[in-house]
Amino acid sequence: MVKKKACVFISGKGTNLINLIRKSRDYNFPISINLVISNNNNAPGIIYAKKNNIPFLIINTKFRNYEYKILRELKRKRISIICLAGYMKIISRNFIKKFGKVIINIHPSLLPKFKGLNTFSRILQNKEKKTGCTVHYVNEKLDGGNIILKKKFFVNPRDNENELKLKTQKLEYLAFPEAIIRIYRYH
Ligand code: GRF
């Protein structure tokens, strides 16, 4: 199978990145991870990419034209899908247009509920019965693109933020790969 070349954007721990790298080693998984981009020099995910010989690029978002630098690299590496996995920067409308290919994101709530940051504390405050994660296409609206899939679980009234996060991330490790398989199902 000819795999699509993917780039994963991260800012932090990169556990979803690590999960995707592992999955991408399966012969039948539709993508290979050919580039990792981080706006954070110290993101642990970068150490993992280094160890696994995956090319990475650290970007300084204080520079005005940093998105152009990214676009250049994506083109050079013939990337056809971007997976945002805990990337804490907003991607501009111009970037989305110029890239012109698939961009997906994973979000730790059942969208359209709880867009944006601090999802777990808001979910607890709201006494939600169910929560989970969502994989969606990225458009210019924050966490607002078409949904590819969601995975849910029931909130235990005794759950704290950390427990919610652990349970949500466990589902993310299933949801992200599954969404990618779904995107390329008929290709
Ligand atoms: C994930 O929970 C994802 O939903 C959110 O950022 C988190 C990234 O975690 N967008 P990690 O860096 O993959 O561990």
Please report the domains of the chain, with CATH numbers, ordered by start residue. Answer: 4-184 (3.40.50.170)
Q: For ligand 1, is residue 169 a contact (CB within 6 Å)? A: yes
Mapped onto helix, strand or coil, the DSSP state of residue 141 is coil
C-alpha closest to that of 7 among 65, 85, 69: 85
Would you state the structure tokens that stand for residue 86, as one six-digit string?
A: 């805990």
Mapped onto helix, strand or coil, the DSSP state of residue 30 is coil
Q: Which position has the token pair 């280094």?
A: 50
Q: Is the whole-model pTM more than 0.75?
A: yes
| Spatial distance between the Cα atoms of 60 and 138, rounded to a whole number of angstroms | 22
Would you state the structure tokens that stand for residue 48, as one six-digit string?
A: 């993992």
Per-residue pLDDT reduced to its tens digit, 34-89: 999 999 988 999 999 999 999 999 999 999 899 999 999 999 999 999 999 999 99
Hey, which residues are catalytic here?
107
Q: For ligand 1, is residue 16 a contact (CB within 6 Å)? A: yes
Q: For ligand 1, is residue 132 a contact (CB within 6 Å)? A: no
CA 2, 5, 8 angle in degrees (round to 5)? 145
For ligand 1, atom 10, name the residue with the nearest CA: 86
Ligand 1 centroid–CA 78 distance in Å is 25
